[in-house]
Amino acid sequence: MSIDIATLPAVVPNWVAGKAVESSSDRRQPVISPATGRVLAEVPLSRASELDAVVASAAKAQRAWAAVPVKDRVQVLFRFKALLEEHLDELAELCSLENGKLLGEARASVAKGIECVEFATSLPQLAAGRVLEVSRGVECHSVRHPVGVVAGITPFNFPAMVPMWLFPLAIACGNAFVLKPSEVTPLCSTAMARLMKEAGLPDGVLSVINGDREIVEAICDHPGIKAVGFVGSTKVAKLVYGRASAHGKKVRALGGAKNHLVVVPDADPEMTATNILASFTGCAGQRCMAASVVVAVGDVEPIIDRVRELAAAMVPGRDVGAIISPAAHARITGYIDRAERDGLKILLDGRKARSEGDAGGNYLGPTIIDGAPAAHECACDEIFGPVLSIVRTKTLDEALAIENANPYGNAAAIYTTNGGVAQYFAERANAGMIGVNIGVPVPREPFAFGGWFDSKFGDGDITGEQAIDFWTNTKKITTKWSDKHRSNWMS
């Protein structure tokens, strides 16, 4: 048994050369359960100077790992997948404990991570390269090489799934991977590193270094790290993209979002209402694919009424998970306070919701703000909580103009029973992931995850085939053989 949540370490270790290693840093912060307020452990904020040893062990391991044929490398991932399934309950519990998600949500997130592992096991089928006789007797073929030591920096909101967007595929590609999880939710990462070791991964191929800005900047600057995958807020994504690319690294940095769900009058009322509800309250609204704005086109009152009715019946702690921290809770309620002050209609007030959760938890009920002007902060900013703003328009084109004007481009969805309307919207909405009657349009494998504009810096998607391109460099080999076999030295 590899994950024992009953005996969490007092101080979360780093994971270096296949072992738990105590950070030498004197800087630490508590890991606090958002659902109870209980301190679970302390996490070290590793010093930049600690990164050298991690990269050195990773570089040594990577040379040997790259020499292992890809068909053998993915065998580790087949075993990792089996271990994840065997330990799904414990990993989900750990994820829920440190993040405050409901247990069912945590299970679903681990299951989605497992899909990414499955995709990585297909690498031998996906990365066979190309060959062509480019002129008589001259052949060109391409082969993929690992990039070397690479890194991933991840956010608090999916402590198991987002790391699994990154490290399984990067490792299958022959890289050694240095993971820097969110310091707010560091526990799942070491648990997964232990499972990778148990699956047979050679020591040093996967490392975990805990920390904050200091270690992120050190990763961006370190000459031994050749590529960085980042997932987090737009502000930090931009910083990481700029800093790591200035050092010549490959960088793909996913940022925040403000997702619009457009509802037109012919939408199926019950399906639309339940779907909008799930989109804005799931993971307590703390996901980059969450619905944040409903753009109501014309008269869709029965649907809005039903969303309100269903949301009002939700009990925080039972149906809605916890907010990550008291500071995030205050930031979210600040948006509601200001919307109220500005005269917007608070159709449902989550500040008043009765919680079934622990008294020390950061709970907030679903909140619906109606009649938001398109330029109001509640319709423009990423609130990252269970808060839905409703903007009213008369036409679909007005709704599209609002969606198109927002600086993010992660997801957008339309609810309609008319295929032509759906196609009109899908062609014109400016986002990387479009939903038709689906409020969380996460592309499942083999389709790739990635937004546009301020939701992503750097080219390509973070998962799927474009991620294989990211975690590899392609070598083109042009070959010409003269026909001299009779004088071959072997004969």
Residues belonging to the active site: 288
Residue 238's contacts (CB-CB under 8 Å, 6 or more residues apart) are 253, 255, 457
Among 46, 57, 182, 259, binds ligand NAD (CB under 6 A): 182
Beginning with the edge strand found earlier in the chain, give each strand of the sheet holding 19-21 in spatial order: 19-21, 14-16, 206-208, 176-180, 149-153, 225-231, 250-254, 456-457
Among 256, 316, 385, 439, binds ligand NAD (CB under 6 A): 256
Residue 400's contacts (CB-CB under 8 Å, 6 or more residues apart) are 262, 425, 428, 429
Among 97, 169, 251, 254, binds ligand NAD (CB under 6 A): 254
Q: How far is the CB of 117 from ligand NAD (least distance, A)?
A: 18
Binding of ligand NAD by 210 (CB under 6 A): no
Q: How far is the CB of 234 from ligand NAD (least distance, A)?
A: 6
Binding of ligand NAD by 216 (CB under 6 A): yes
Binding of ligand NAD by 444 (CB under 6 A): no
Q: How far is the CB of 367 from ligand NAD (least distance, A)?
A: 18
Stretch that binds ligand NAD, among 19-27, 91-99, 114-122, 250-258 (CB under 6 A): 250-258
Among 233, 325, 393, 430, binds ligand NAD (CB under 6 A): 233
Which residues between 304 and 333 bind ligand NAD (CB under 6 A)? none
- Taking the least distance from each CB to ligand NAD, the nearer of 156 and 280 is 156
Among 160, 227, 231, 467, binds ligand NAD (CB under 6 A): 231
Q: How far is the CB of 418 from ligand NAD (least distance, A)?
A: 30
Residue nearest to ligand NAD (CB): 232
- Taking the least distance from each CB to ligand NAD, the nearer of 146 and 186 is 186
Among 19, 63, 145, 213, binds ligand NAD (CB under 6 A): 213
Binding of ligand NAD by 159 (CB under 6 A): no
Among 93, 212, 358, 381, binds ligand NAD (CB under 6 A): 212
Binding of ligand NAD by 189 (CB under 6 A): no
Binding of ligand NAD by 454 (CB under 6 A): no
Stretch that binds ligand NAD, among 57-65, 94-102, 154-162, 389-397 (CB under 6 A): 154-162
446 prior amide bond cis, ω within 30: yes
The residue count for binding ligand NAD (CB under 6 A) is 28
Stretch that binds ligand NAD, among 7-15, 64-72, 251-259, 274-282 (CB under 6 A): 251-259
- How many whole angstroms separate alpha carbon 114 and alpha carbon 136? 46
Binding of ligand NAD by 155 (CB under 6 A): yes
- Taking the least distance from each CB to ligand NAD, the nearer of 288 and 293 is 288
Q: Which two tokens stand for residue 409?
A: 């481009």
Which residues between 370 and 389 bind ligand NAD (CB under 6 A)? 382, 384
Binding of ligand NAD by 14 (CB under 6 A): no
Whole-Å CA distances, 488 to 15, 137, 138, 334, 353: 52, 18, 20, 80, 84
Among 80, 119, 156, 177, binds ligand NAD (CB under 6 A): 156
Binding of ligand NAD by 190 (CB under 6 A): no
- Taking the least distance from each CB to ligand NAD, the nearer of 242 and 446 is 242
Binding of ligand NAD by 461 (CB under 6 A): no
Q: How far is the CB of 217 from ligand NAD (least distance, A)?
A: 6
Stretch that binds ligand NAD, among 95-103, 147-155, 385-393, 398-406 (CB under 6 A): 147-155
Summarize as ranges the residues that interact with ligand NAD (CB under 6 A). 153-158, 162, 180, 182-183, 212-213, 216, 231-233, 236, 239, 254-257, 288, 382, 384, 410, 451, 455
